[in-house]
Amino acid sequence: MSTEFRGIVRLAGRDLDGTKRIVYALKDIKGLNVTLSSALVNSLKLDPRMRLGQLSDAQLMELEKVLKDLRIVNLPPFLFNRRKDIETGENSHLFESDLAFVIKNDIEREKLLNSWRGIRHSLGLKVRGQRTRTTGRKGQTVGVRKAAVQAAASKEEEKKE
């Protein structure tokens, strides 16, 4: 068992910074956030003040095993990013490329169903009910030039006279 400090640690297919605290180093894995990372650290009974590079080989192996299947540590389902999956009906948690692939498939399914969300995705508009009057514009911003405003104001004054 090696106890020497590692500057770079390989976990879940990513090279992570060993100088960061465990919770914040795990956050660099796509699909993990600070809340889930701290829940993992607490369930594995690791010191959250330790640096990732200070973990022993056995601790890293245990962490890798838990990351492959988070259901091992009996975390509450609201921490997972794939609750009640449409295809399997199970609660699961996905990372990295698996997460991107499933999200892409979900969007394609919505488009095929011609649901409201699918239509909004296909048109490149906001999907979750946000404002679109002033935000979410693509391309060059369109504004009003000062000279054009003054010319319009002078025309209105001429009409009044």
Distance CA 116, CA 109 (A): 12
Mean pLDDT of the chain: 86
Structural domain containing residue 130: 96-160
pLDDT at residue 57 is higher than 70: yes
Distance CA 157, CA 159 (A): 5
User: Which backbone phi and psi does 39 adopt, to 5 degrees?
Assistant: -65, -40
Q: Which two tokens stand for residue 154?
A: 């002078």
pLDDT at 41: 92
Q: Are 28 and 18 in contact (CB under 8 A)?
A: no
The domain total for the chain is 2
pLDDT band at residue 113, thresholds of 50, 70 and 90?
very high
CATH number at residue 50: 1.10.8.50
pLDDT at residue 13 is higher than 80: yes
pLDDT at 135: 83
Q: Which two tokens stand for residue 143?
A: 């504004």
What percent of the chain shows pLDDT beyond 70? 91
Eight-class DSSP state of 29: S
Q: Are 30 and 63 in contact (CB under 8 A)?
A: no
Q: Same domain, yes or no, for 66 and 16? A: yes
Q: What is the DSSP string of 60-106?
A: HHHHHHHHH-GGGGT--GGG-SB-S-TTT---B---HHHHHHHHHHH
The one-letter amino acid code at 51 reads: R
pLDDT at residue 145 is higher than 70: no
Q: What's the average model confidence in pLDDT over 28-41?
A: 91
Position 1 in a domain: no
Q: Same domain, yes or no, for 62 and 113? A: no
Where do we find the tokens 């391309």? Answer: 139
pLDDT at residue 27 is higher than 60: yes
User: Which backbone phi and psi does 9 adopt, to 5 degrees?
Assistant: -120, 135
pTM over 0.75: no
The one-letter amino acid code at 93 reads: H
CATH number at residue 113: 4.10.910
